[in-house]
Amino acid sequence: MHQETIKFIRKVYNKPIGFIPLHEPIFGGNEKKYLMECIDSTFVSSVGKYVTQFEEMMAEYTGSKYAVATVNGTAALHIALLLSGVKENDEVITQPLTFVATANAISYTGAKPIFIDVDRNTMGLSPQSLKEWLKQSTIKRFNKTTNQRETINKETGKQISACIPMHTFGHPCRIDEIKIICDEYNISLIEDAAESLGSTYRGKHTGTFGLFGTLSFNGNKTITTGGGGMLLTNDKELAKKAKHITTTAKQPHKWEYIHDVIGYNYRLTNLAAALGVAQMEQLPDFIKRKRELAKKYEIFFKDSGIEFVSEKKNTEANYWLNALILKDRKERDEFLEQTNEVGIMTRPIWELMNKLPMFKDCQKGDLSNSEWLVDRLVNITSSVI
Ligand SMILES: *Cc1c(COP(=O)(O)O)cnc(C)c1O
């Protein structure tokens, strides 16, 4: 069976022999022109017109009021957590089925992740599991010092201050239901939208539902700046703070160096942003072509006994990475073996976060859907054709 799939991928990519990567960037627009302009202007670092232009284009495209560019997606998550009020010794809920950056960023703040299961069909955080876990494992109380309601983990006595769902492979999770639950428990909602640029839920762009959304422009993402990220928020004050602490928290002054809090050197460079602007110009076309490719896969795998992961009701997916659900772990391993053997790059899901040595002692709920998916899901060739 997998021989048929291999033949089909080779046909679709018009590559009868040789290596086919999982997700290759395309530089088909003004990338070189804008990069040369940067070099000629000498503004190659974190001051320059492309950084602002990239932010403006992203705000416009996603419908977010503000966008703040960062050196990478992990840095964007780190800042989102800090500005959401996550403190050392807090706890932050996320899904175990994610790229390690999500859990790493939580750790940078001194907080600990708690892993709650995903839905099988969206592959993103399950509102049902979240609700049940919160109901069973936490109490709500009023903090007189901060004058705020807060949610406390019964087992550890610690505050759960944020929740980070992730829109896996570009398929939006049930973010409106998650938002209602987070609001009810006074937990800040941060969407890890690193994989879902161009994906919408009920017509609204992913990453714009919570207090913050974060994007990534790593080399394998839907658009790339080499390395880069972005914070999305509708809150003017938070956007201002985000820009401030990602630029070493320097107070504006013609010559003095006054920094008023501990800041970070997290601002995207003008060189990277020049790539970003050129990539943004092509983004709608990339999404269109990715969706056409997904359609081809969908038709090919129909009635094949292999499930192609299609977009769910109320969502529009960017199909960042196309995914198949195979029968079991054995079939998954055979598929990975046979495709990679002949130079067609395919990949399993990441090892679940709770299985990694640094997160193995973290609290978790029942994770059967995540485990079910890990045993069966593979990502197949997804570059824009
Ligand atoms: C890519 C990615 C990130 C951010 O990665 P960077 O390489 O730091 O830009 C974060 N979360 C998820 C789920 C990702 O896929």
pLDDT (tens digit per residue) in 322-331:
999 999 999 9
pLDDT at 11: 97
Residues 6+ apart with CB under 8 A from 30: 277, 278, 281
Task: Please give all residues whose beta carbon lies within 6 A of any atom in ligand 1, as ranges.
Answer: 72-74, 98-99, 101-102, 166, 192, 194-195, 216, 218, 229
At 109-130, the pLDDT tens digits run 999 999 999 999 999 999 999 9
pLDDT at 243: 98
Using an 8 Å Cβ cutoff, are 381 and 345 in contact?
yes
pTM of the complete model = 0.97
pLDDT surpassing 90 at residue 372: yes
How high is the mean pLDDT of the chain? 97
- Token pair of 118, please? 């995903």
Q: How remote is the CA of residue 239 from the centroid of ligand 1, in Å?
A: 20
Other C-beta atoms lying within 10 Å of the C-beta of residue 154: 9
Using an 8 Å Cβ cutoff, are 226 and 219 in contact?
yes
213-239: average pLDDT = 98
Has residue 120 been placed in a domain? Answer: yes
The bridge status of strand 160-164 relative to strand 188-192 is parallel
Has residue 14 been placed in a domain? Answer: no
Q: Which atom of ligand 1 is nearest to the CA of 220?
A: 1
3-state SS, residue 114: strand
For the chain, give the percent of residues with pLDDT over 70. 100
Has residue 243 been placed in a domain? Answer: yes
Q: How remote is the CA of residue 17 from the centroid of ligand 1, in Å?
A: 31
pLDDT surpassing 80 at residue 1: no
Domain that holds residue 247: 31-281
In the block, residue with structure tokens 């090919």 = 300
* CA 113 – CA 127 distance, rounded (Å): 17
Q: Whose CA is nearest to atom 13 of ligand 1?
A: 99
Most informative mutation of 22, 70, 72, 74 for ligand 1 (most atoms within 8 A of CB): 74
287-294: average pLDDT = 98
At 186-196, the pLDDT tens digits run 999 999 999 99
Q: Which atom of ligand 1 is nearest to the CA of 105?
A: 10
Has residue 316 been placed in a domain? Answer: no
Has residue 209 been placed in a domain? Answer: yes
Most informative mutation of 218, 352, 370 for ligand 1 (most atoms within 8 A of CB): 218
Q: How many domains does the chain have?
A: 1
131-146: average pLDDT = 96
Using an 8 Å Cβ cutoff, are 284 and 62 in contact?
no
Residues 6+ apart with CB under 8 A from 145: none
Question: Phi and psi (nearest 5°) for 178?
Answer: -65, -40
The CATH code of the domain that includes 62 is 3.40.640.10
pLDDT surpassing 90 at residue 311: yes
pLDDT surpassing 80 at residue 360: yes
For the chain, give the percent of residues with pLDDT over 90. 99
Q: How confident is the model at residue 278 (pLDDT cuts 50, 70, 90)?
A: very high
Has residue 298 been placed in a domain? Answer: no
Has residue 268 been placed in a domain? Answer: yes
* CA 298 – CA 22 distance, rounded (Å): 17
Q: How confident is the model at residue 204 (pLDDT cuts 50, 70, 90)?
A: very high
pLDDT at 264: 98
Q: How many residues are recorded in the chain?
A: 385
Has residue 286 been placed in a domain? Answer: no
Q: How remote is the CA of residue 24 from the centroid of ligand 1, in Å?
A: 16
Write the CA distances from 80 to 10, 238, 267, 317, integer angstroms: 41, 9, 14, 24
Residue 125 DSSP label: B
pLDDT surpassing 90 at residue 159: yes
Q: Which atom of ligand 1 is nearest to the CA of 228?
A: 9
pLDDT at 171: 98
pLDDT at 164: 99
